[in-house]
Amino acid sequence: MVDIELVRRALAEDLAGGQDITSVATVDGDEKVVAEFVARQEGVLAGVEMAVATLTECGLSDITVMKKDGDHVSPGASIIVVRGDTRAILLAERTALNFLGHLSGIASLTNLWVRAIEGTKCKIRDTRKTTPGMRVLEKAAVVSGGGTNHRMSLSDAALIKDNHIAAAGGVIAAFAKVRTAFPTAAIEIEVDTLDQLREVSAENPDLVLLDNMTPLQCAEAVAFVDERFKLEASGGISLAHAREYAESGVDYLAIGALTHSAPVLDIGLDLKVE
């Protein structure tokens, strides 16, 4: 996946209307080099196409892609090899690495969660806690890591949360207002207690979000719902307890940390003059 306008904005931000004064001073401009993007640690890749788009936008064309999004890499793995003008490669370097490291970090963290609940029916799902302007890319990185996407935007589906419930005057009132205004929209509703779950179940929601419940409460909710609609656990779930939640029988774990707290995957650029 490529957002070429984001690539252009990132490069323009790096130059700030000027030029790369270090490269202009130290590089004659006619050197040809080979540069290799190399994994420094184990992880799962995402953002490879964004890195390639950055290189291309800087005028480079001799690019060999060794690994793709979703590939597992070990330290020392070659990801992209590029040959060409030294100044162009140095201009592209940081922007390409920023995209590649950030998105691969999301894919790698997602994959840790996916592997933690392997063997259950539960799926790891992201949220809208994304970097402004990078939602599509970050959600694609979640998929590369083996996770699934929640709604992309507020218009995709209804998600009735505690503030909507408070504003509308209660769980049932909020649900009824959404159903009346948007009769064909999928509706997910957040509940804080099992009593609220029982109350809203008669309305036939598409999905109910169990907010800040324990694994035991989630299991009680699963037994009560008996597959009439989907259930998602969210809030305060740690990686260490992910499997316990997944084994409760819920369909999804909603994990905001996938996109708002993923550490960058360490990837470097090794450059050699040919």
Is residue 161 part of the annotated active site? The answer reads yes
How far is residue 128's CA from residue 147's CA, in Å, rounded to a whole number?
14
Is residue 67 part of the annotated active site? The answer reads no
54 close to 99: Cβ distance less than 8 angstroms: yes
Q: Of 93, 138, 188, 190, which one is the catalytic site residue?
A: 190
Q: Of 129, 135, 177, 230, which one is the catalytic site residue?
A: 129
Half-sphere exposure of 184 (CA within 13 A, CB side): 2
Is residue 49 part of the annotated active site? The answer reads no
How far is residue 176's CA from residue 195's CA, in Å, rounded to a whole number?
18
Return the residue matching tokens 């260490």: 240
For residue 145, the 8-state DSSP code is T
| Phi, psi of 109, deg, nearest 5 | -65, -45
Residues 6 or more apart whose CB falls under 8 angstroms from that of 113 comprise: 124, 147, 239, 242, 253, 255, 258
Is residue 135 part of the annotated active site? The answer reads no
106 close to 128: Cβ distance less than 8 angstroms: no
Is residue 211 part of the annotated active site? The answer reads yes
Query: Which is it for strands 123-125 and 158-160: parallel, antiparallel or unpaired?
Result: unpaired
Q: Of 67, 83, 94, 230, which one is the catalytic site residue?
A: 94
Residue from 94, 63, 62, 98 nearest 80 by CA? 63
In sequence order, the β-bridge partners of residue 189 are 160, 208
Active site residues: 94, 129, 161, 190, 211
